[in-house]
Structure 1
Amino acid sequence: MAGRFLIQVDLEILLNPAREEIALKTISFLDCVLINVNPTTFSASKGFLQSHFNAFSTYCDVTALEQRHGNIISLLDNGASRVFVTEHQFKAIVKEKLLVDLSRLIIYLDYSCDSSEPVTAAKELNNHIQTLDLPAEIGIAIRDRASQAVIEECAEEVGRIPTCYANLASFTLDQHMKWLEHGHVPIIPATELTIDPARYPQKVPVWLLITNSIRTDRTDGLFPTVVTDEHRICLGLVYSNHESIEEAVKSGRGVYWSRSRNKLWIKGAESGDTQELISIGWDCDADALQFVVRQKGDGFCHLKRPTCFGPYAGMARLQKTLHARKVSAPEGSYTARLFNDPSLLAAKIMEEASELCEARSKADIAAEAADLFYFAMARCTAAGVSVEDIEHNLDLKSLKTSRRAGNAKAQWAEKFGLKDSQENSQANNLSKAIPSQETLKEAASVPKDRNDPAGTIAEYIQMRRFKTAEEEPKTIQTVLQRPSQRSTDDIMNIVNPIIREIRNGGDAAVLKYTHRFEKATSLTSPVMLAPFKQSLMHLPPETIEAIDVSFENIRRFHAAQKDQKALQVETMPGVICSRFSRPIERVGLYVPGGTAVLPSTALMLGIPAMVAGCKRIIMASPPRSDGTITPEIVYVAHKVGAESIVLAGGAQAVAAMAYGTESIAKVDKILGPGNQFVTAGKMIVSNDTTAGVSIDMPAGPSEVLVIADDTANPAFVASDLLSQAEHGVDSQVVLIAVDLSEEQLGSIEKELHEQANALPRVDIVRGAIGHSVTLVVGSIVEAMELSNQYAPEHLILQVKNAEKVVDLVQNAGSVFIGPWTPESVGDYSAGVNHSLPTYGYAKQYSGVNLSSFTKHITSSNLTQEGLRNVSGAVMQLAKVEELEAHRRAVSIRLDHMPKT
């Protein structure tokens, strides 16, 4: 309704129940209130805004706050639609570049006119406005009588101002009409209005203010009226006239005009389905009304439906369903338990929130978000919180001017690998970075400019920079720490029950979790058996060729790792020791999937298993929502001779392969990357002696460390860093710059920023770069010492004589040598394996290789001479350890030997 008039009222009077003549009810339906704010009423004004934000479009006159710009922003943050400021306040806000949407400001002109000639006065006013050089979206307001006369008599002279507000000391309906004709807004004192004209005949009835603001082209003089509920969901179309509007305002109910009966229609008078009137508004042309009501009873429609256009949908429908279930749910039912057991409901909310974070496809995210909304609304319903209350807070957030840093709270930042704001702040201080080069702390961008709400234009994507010569060793050690992961206890508490359920429930339990997490509800079997149908492997020829080329390169490299013959050594005369390898018979290969297409992981795991000669190869990968596996993975499974593909993901797939089910074969070793839940599942089953299964290695987020000197191409360096940063916000990239100048470092940083902004996953890159660093060192030796301390998953050497530098590598998953060897060739097609130790485990573990799929068996073969030669040592050590049977196993044989 703002734009037709504003109702000005002092807050003390408005909140004083003794002042009945201008009580809240007088203006509660007008949706356009202007309150005066001074230092004394500032706190009360914020409270009023918060509690009546949905009831009014509330404007604030803050001219009495002088230079308190923080208070102005606070009022905007708390829900003020617009604020009236002085010229001085406005100029200060612009000068200080405060993050204020200027369209939410209205300037009270510091102007008075002494001329008795309206035309002359209008020209003076226009000249004054011109000197301000106001943005087009700024409105102006005037107080003095002379200027009022100017606007009233010569509005065309100041017509270039979009909206002009005038504070009217007194008010008539004729004045109102004159202002409306010129597109301006009168500010009407609440003391001039009433809903009880019999008691206050000198005041203007509120309903006349409404009817004076609308028009109709209907011959019957009726106003089309759209009725909506608090969510602005349309309940139906009715008609109003002057009489019905008057009765609606007086009674505070939904009252309309019945065309069929030609009389007032008080909604619910007969049916009991009454309406509480919240506000009255109109459309942009002021020829149709909107009644916002709170509907009671069965609904608006005469057919006992919520709306004339059918049932409610979405959140409104869910709210009604939950309200009904709260009242009628049988004792002991699941719904009753949700409402009566806060711990169960809290656990479900946390569970669904976690699943939403893990979801990747559009369908999965929508489904998980719906689950979370359901349980969140159950929590709200149990506490008496409505959708309107939630929307109130969402709308309030949309009006906030100030912005938080956007950091997660410490306990959550730690769980998801984000460094808290205090740690980032300390690191920034240590880095001595240029003030304008902010460190990004998260993937989500923080708006920096109202013309760049996503923060994608002004925000510079840059790694923190440290010169090791200027920092303490402890500082460098701190900045090289990986982003922390969720606590082990939290993960284990989620994964352990899944493992137990799969172990005890078999196929049914696997299907349950596949239906739940992958939404593949059409599946009736948890496994796909070979031979795989050709239709499941339908691929473009170029994709088949790429897979075949990569397949052959990976096969050649791993085949070369085979032991050519058994190792045999005669340790002393007659004592032959040997070692020979045998493939692990049954291996389970976990390939992350769902809608993601990861044939590279299937290749890296399946080919060495095939080359090693494993008798049974079982793959596991989460299916898509239609129950199928991506054809690339099926094609690779076919090529490596996999006997089946388990249609499951996460810890449930790991458990199924570890323990076996009615349809899924048990394996002896599980290999493959995955998220924290997959890794936790692998750790749990490997420590369970009843499972009898081993795993390849612990896992963590992807990472790369690039060492570059003055021979490195900045574009190559940046591309290698970004190739890992795009994996996820928990990935980490490190650049060690060997004696590079400021100009050379700037070139790399410029390339990083420009290349990052060209990527479709730029927001993920921002998150990863936020905890990534550049270390500037003085020599290649120092660079390699830091690299070995870090033990990266991927180490890239873009330095001169890179082949010789490899001699200094002590800890790394895989090394990429020289300018023409990007890390991505190792991920896909060069031949080396990309399943590598991360999170510093390169100090203890190798990446996946042929030996990951084999075991070595030793043997001993002694002649009589050999036993005689070694017997003395064996029997003496057995005597020392007091293991008599061990000693006698040798002595008895000696007794049976022929005497020499």
Structure 2
Amino acid sequence: MTPPFIPFVDASTADDLKSSLGRIGPLLLDADALSSTPLPPQTDAILLTSSSLTADDAIKLLDDGAAQLIVQPSLAKELIGTVPSERLLLLLDISAVSSVSDKLRSGTSGVYLKTPGTPELDLLTSFRTFFPSDKQIYVAPPPNSALPTPSLIRELTRASSTLVIPASQLTLSTTSEDALNVSDAFLAPLTSDRPDGLFPTIVSSYTHSGKSLGLVYSSAESIKESIVTGKGVYQSRKHGLWRKGETSGAVQHVVSIRADCDWDTLEFQVIQHGTGFCHLGSTSCFGGVEGLVKLEDTLRSRLETAPEGSYTKRLFNDPGLLRSKLKEEADELASAQTKEEIAFEAADLLYFAMTRCVAAGVSLADIGASLDNKAKKISRRKGDAKPQYAITSNIPASSPSKPESAPTQPAPATATTSGPIQMRTADLTTISPSERSKLLQRPVLRSAEMIAKVKPIIDQVRSQGDAAIKELTAKFDKAQLDQVVLRAPFAQEQMVIPENVKDAVDRAYKNIYAFHAAQAEKETLVVETMPGVTCSRFARPIARVGLYVPGGTAILPSTALMLGIPAQVAGCREIVLAVPPRPDGSVSPEVLYCAHLVGATTVLKAGGAQAIAAMAYGTESVPKVDKIFGPGNQWVTAAKMAVQNDTDALVSIDMPAGPSEVLVVSDATGIPSFVAADLLSQAEHGIDSQVVLVTVNVTADHLAAIEREVDAQANALPRVDIVRQSVAKSLIVKTTSVEEALAFSNDYAPEHLILHLENAPDAVKLVENAGSVFVGAWSPESCGDYASGTNHTLPTNGYARQFSGVNTASYQKHITSQQVTQEGLKDLGPIVVTLAECEGLEAHANAVRVRLNHSKA
């Protein structure tokens, strides 16, 4: 409930006045003077900011605990969408009200209205045509204006407005010509419908989470005394003024006094001392407390009275035992499955958590205050678990989604669960170079953090081998394994798949094999660099390779083909294919059939970091490999990077990975339904998928048609919830030429590039950075994902500038050789001797000299 007035305090405001004001509502302060004006405890602060404040400064003030900020409209425009509307107020002159945009009205909770003199009620009433009744209006007369009267406060309150009063015009003494009594100001709008003029007053417990303690009555006199003294003072209908606890010792410290929405009832929130509120000695007149509040009271009592040897006493006296029980119960809660189990384990954990708090003097009120402070923060950490707890917070390791990452600027609007599914738009002709650079940024991949999280999993597999794989697979994939691997030849009954699926796999296999076989180097490169000096280069397969095929909720036989066929073409001697098992511990027959086609020698029934570790180091059942390939979620990617950097593993990986990406370039010939479908084909991968549409001289109507198709097709997809979030973070970039569009694409370096252009083949020559290019309206990215022949394991996150997609050469290493004749060394030898001596490597020079000397002899 909005208070009857808002006091504007500063460094000169007396502490006792400030404390009294803090009991009846929020305080208004100048943000620039905040350091010299500390707030009383449990006080909400409204900060009036200066025109020089930046968005970052504003967010810091809110993070530090400010309840609301009063900001200039220009700053409000920057903060809307980042800061909740209830935390922002517009700073306006009353003459500027009509110019406020709908965005500012909807994105803020109200206005701080500067008026040229005493507020005019008619003007404020008309002002409500611009700001609806649910918006706050704080009315601020100019400095040194006339002393406000209770009648003015009352009239403004009835007009749904709140008067701002400088603390210099307020006093705890009797109202005079110079200052208005605080209690008189607070009482101004209050009305009573009782013959005795008293106000029904609900007393609630601040320390017991708002538990109602009882119903009493207040008078103007009792309210004034409570505001000034901070003690619970009420009006007895029989005995007059009632100072709670004056004789019993059960006194109250008043935290806040609030009026209800009709201004005829009060609530006192108090800290109750002594035996309790009720004259019967109980905490409340409405019976005893329950739940956590009762637990807190019981533990406080046990802290003082529990007999030696009791379990609670042991917990209070043995911090090590209490610490161990907290960890144990947290782990059991994390593992609980049913509603009943979760409730049971949560109750246990809360018991030990409250024991820890009571032992340290921390109350439920303290915890509530901490939660309230956290809720005020605008800046949020990502919230990943610390490395030592990473396993317990691990998402299912077999999840096929790619890594999730924190978004970078420009920050997209939060996706809603209703309304059109729309992308953001930027025009390259109107933005600055720095803004263009921001459009090219991807989410930040916090590789070091993720590597620290997977390290315990890797170490466990390395030390415990097959036993660790079984344990981790049971934990993350909920599958019990009798055998960790399957070895070729695989049983026919395990590869039974529908005939139409088998035919599609066979035809895709043929196309992919044909394209990758054409890439194989069949002849040795031989070059005579000078007479008698012949240099050669020849390819040899990497002997042992590991292929990671994501699984879990999806089956991805296409990935098994894409990774396995080039290994088969290259001639790799041992092919280990890792795939997360199904709940019954088996491997999907589609993936196993593909493993059979590509000549896999071993199938590892594991996913996540544990599968990567098993292939990198080897176990009792899993052969060690020399290079690991394949996509995966953030745990898989981090594990690949970790083992690559471990010299004990002696293993390399195909490439760094990031969220799926597509960039579509379309001119006016682009068919809206085709363009939209291509965008959505990547948007459905995960909420962090990167989807960009670059238009070339496309009209507003044409672009609107594409956006309508995106919305319509997205809403028809089974993964619409994922698409809604990824599209909300996606981008439309407007350009004026194909050259400008491809220049932007080259800087972005997308995983997939699709060209919906009138002369798409001619535009390919402009492509410098991309994982794979799809040329023309009839070349959907899906073809490359499954069956056209090219590989779908491609560089993401801008790595197309440096990396190629997986190909046959990825599974080969190149060895060079040289053969020098005796005559050839006569010409080459002196060159080598000179260079070796220049570097001070005499042994190198000597290896040539002895031969030249021998030749002379």
Asked whether the two chains share a fold, i.e. TM above 0.5, the reply is yes
Match of 2:681 in 1: 723
- The answer as to whether partners of 1:605 and 1:672 remain within 8 angstroms in 2 is yes
Q: CA deviation at 1:277?
A: 5.8
Name the amino acid aligned to 1:440.
Answer: A
Q: Which string of whole-angstrom CA distances, capped at 9 and with x for unpartnered residues, describes residues 643-692 of structure 1?
A: 22222222221111111111111001011111222222112211222211
Cα distance in 1 for partners of 2:608, 2:745 equals 32
Name the amino acid aligned to 1:552.
Answer: K
Cα distance in 1 for partners of 2:665, 2:340 equals 42
Residues 599/416 of structure 1: CA separation in 2 closer, same or farther (3 Å cut): closer
Decide which of 465, 481, 484 is 1:506's aligned counterpart: 465
Match of 1:586 in 2: 544
Q: CA deviation at 1:93?
A: 10
Match of 1:891 in 2: 849
SS of corresponding position for 2:465: helix
Number of equivalences: 603
Equivalent residue runs for 1:601-612 within 5 Å: 601-612=559-570
State whether structure 2 residue 693 is matched by structure 1 residue 732: no
Q: Which string of whole-angstrom CA distances, capped at 9 and with x for unpartnered residues, describes residues 598-626 of structure 1?
A: 11111110111111111100011222332
State whether structure 2 residue 298 is matched by structure 1 residue 338: no
Cα distance in 1 for partners of 2:437, 2:460 equals 42
Cα distance in 1 for partners of 2:587, 2:628 equals 20
Cα distance in 2 for partners of 1:503, 1:819 equals 49
Report the TM-score when normalising by structure 1.
Answer: 0.57
- The answer as to whether partners of 1:440 and 1:461 remain within 8 angstroms in 2 is no
Match of 1:8 in 2: none
- The answer as to whether partners of 1:722 and 1:752 remain within 8 angstroms in 2 is yes
Decide which of 703, 711, 736 is 1:778's aligned counterpart: 736
SS of corresponding position for 1:826: helix
State whether structure 2 residue 759 is matched by structure 1 residue 759: no
Decide which of 442, 467, 484 is 1:482's aligned counterpart: 442
SS of corresponding position for 2:481: coil
5+ long unaligned stretches in structure 2: 1-20, 28-41, 44-84, 90-123, 136-192, 197-214, 218-235, 239-278, 297-309, 386-402
State whether structure 2 residue 415 is matched by structure 1 residue 417: no
Cα distance in 1 for partners of 2:630, 2:339 equals 24
- The answer as to whether partners of 1:704 and 1:793 remain within 8 angstroms in 2 is yes
Instruction: Please identify, of 608-617 and 625-634, the stretch whose mean Cα deviation from structure 2 is larger.
Output: 625-634
Q: CA deviation at 1:597?
A: 1.0
SS of corresponding position for 1:577: strand
Match of 2:671 in 1: 713
Cα distance in 2 for partners of 1:757, 1:876 equals 73
Q: CA deviation at 1:501?
A: 2.5
Equivalent residue runs for 1:251-290 within 5 Å: none
Match of 1:644 in 2: 602
Q: CA deviation at 1:331?
A: 11
Decide which of 492, 507, 522 is 1:534's aligned counterpart: 492
Q: CA deviation at 1:826?
A: 0.9
Equivalent residue runs for 1:786-797 within 5 Å: 786-797=744-755
Q: CA deviation at 1:820?
A: 0.7
Q: CA deviation at 1:882?
A: 2.2
- The answer as to whether partners of 1:610 and 1:641 remain within 8 angstroms in 2 is yes
Match of 1:555 in 2: 513
SS of corresponding position for 1:470: coil
Cα distance in 2 for partners of 1:412, 1:691 equals 31
State whether structure 2 residue 413 is matched by structure 1 residue 440: yes
Residues 816/373 of structure 1: CA separation in 2 closer, same or farther (3 Å cut): farther
- The answer as to whether partners of 1:440 and 1:769 remain within 8 angstroms in 2 is no
Cα distance in 2 for partners of 1:418, 1:751 equals 28
Residues 637/773 of structure 1: CA separation in 2 closer, same or farther (3 Å cut): same
Cα distance in 1 for partners of 2:22, 2:636 equals 58
Cα distance in 1 for partners of 2:555, 2:288 equals 55
- The answer as to whether partners of 2:382 and 2:406 remain within 8 angstroms in 1 is no
Residues 555/326 of structure 1: CA separation in 2 closer, same or farther (3 Å cut): farther
Match of 1:469 in 2: 429
5+ long unaligned stretches in structure 1: 1-37, 49-68, 74-88, 101-166, 171-188, 192-198, 202-248, 254-274, 280-290, 297-323, 357-362, 398-403, 428-438, 446-454
Residues 413/655 of structure 1: CA separation in 2 closer, same or farther (3 Å cut): closer
Cα distance in 1 for partners of 2:377, 2:323 equals 36
Q: CA deviation at 1:371?
A: 9.5
- The answer as to whether partners of 2:560 and 2:594 remain within 8 angstroms in 1 is yes
% identical aligned pairs: 46
Q: CA deviation at 1:506?
A: 1.9
Match of 2:454 in 1: 495
SS of corresponding position for 2:429: helix
Q: CA deviation at 1:701?
A: 0.8
Residues 626/251 of structure 1: CA separation in 2 closer, same or farther (3 Å cut): farther
Cα distance in 2 for partners of 1:805, 1:582 equals 36
- The answer as to whether partners of 1:277 and 1:293 remain within 8 angstroms in 2 is no
Equivalent residue runs for 1:845-864 within 5 Å: 845-864=803-822
Q: CA deviation at 1:763?
A: 2.5
Equivalent residue runs for 1:311-710 within 5 Å: 336-339=322-325, 379=353, 382-383=356-357, 409-412=380-383, 417-419=405-407, 423-424=409-410, 440-441=413-414, 443=415, 445=416, 455-456=417-418, 458=419, 460-485=420-445, 487-520=446-479, 522-710=480-668
Cα distance in 1 for partners of 2:790, 2:344 equals 42
- The answer as to whether partners of 1:276 and 1:295 remain within 8 angstroms in 2 is no
Name the amino acid aligned to 2:486.
Answer: M
Equivalent residue runs for 1:160-179 within 5 Å: none
Cα distance in 1 for partners of 2:744, 2:425 equals 15
Name the amino acid aligned to 2:691.
Answer: V
Q: CA deviation at 1:838?
A: 0.4
Residues 863/334 of structure 1: CA separation in 2 closer, same or farther (3 Å cut): farther
Q: Which string of whole-angstrom CA distances, capped at 9 and with x for unpartnered residues, describes residues 426-449 of structure 1?
A: x6xxxxxxxxxxx532x5x3xxxx
SS of corresponding position for 1:736: strand
Q: CA deviation at 1:547?
A: 1.6
Q: Which string of whole-angstrom CA distances, capped at 9 and with x for unpartnered residues, describes residues 385-423 of structure 1?
A: 9xx989x99xx99xxxxxx99987155599953447xx5
